[in-house]
A and B are shown apart, each in its own frame.
Chain A
């Protein structure tokens, strides 16, 4: 089955700096890669996703890049703010009629004011 590795497990940045979280996946057939943000005590929420036919996607201060050849994808957050502090999860879906997601273990991002 699919295996998703996520790094780093914790990340601290100064407010205003950029943060990058990286994930690798094992199944070359995977075609959908969402990112979730989970604030303390709350449910995970989808913040951005990318499909295998796209190399990069941006939404304001967040962006995701995908390298299918290397089987890795990354989340980039620019101009970080304290409210960006949360646990971030990457995930991959095998596609081909399969809708379940395999998640990475998560990255705890702390933005220091």
Chain B
């Protein structure tokens, strides 16, 4: 029944490493989003995409990039991981037209050491 799948549940990386977080949805949704979730800060938008090869910066894009080569897949890239990027990362998707609630993935808890 899982519709948004994130490739890793837990990930430990070293400072300076390039990190890829993968998200795949099987609902044919146009919109995909990456958020990070930190205690006391809620969910903050990193990047989003409304179409293949389209990407837009969210509220906290610094240190991140994204790739959307196929409709069902949206990847988050940490070019050079830093300890302040230790967080829970949540991927979500939603359909168009109109506003509909997101379907979230299970999240990837990334620890950068």
Do A and B bind?
A: yes
Q: Please list the residues of chain A having a beta carbon within 8 angstroms of any beta carbon in chain B.
A: 1, 6, 9, 31-32, 34, 36, 42-46, 49, 51, 89, 93, 95, 99-106
Partner of A105, one of B41, B99, B101: B41
Shortest Cβ gap from A45 to chain B (Å): 7
| Interface Cβ pair total, 8 Å cutoff | 54
Judging by beta carbons under 8 Å apart, are B42 and A103 in contact? yes
Partner of B99, one of A9, A51, A102: A51
Judging by beta carbons under 8 Å apart, are B106 and A99 in contact? no
Interface size class of B (residues with CB under 8 A): 20 to 34
Judging by beta carbons under 8 Å apart, are A49 and B31 in contact? no
The stretch of B11-19, B43-51, B70-78 in contact with A is B43-51
**A95/B99 contact (C-beta < 8 A), A1-B59, A100-B33 known:** yes
- A residues in contact with B35, CB < 8 Å: 103
Judging by beta carbons under 8 Å apart, are B90 and A99 in contact? no
Judging by beta carbons under 8 Å apart, are A43 and B107 in contact? yes
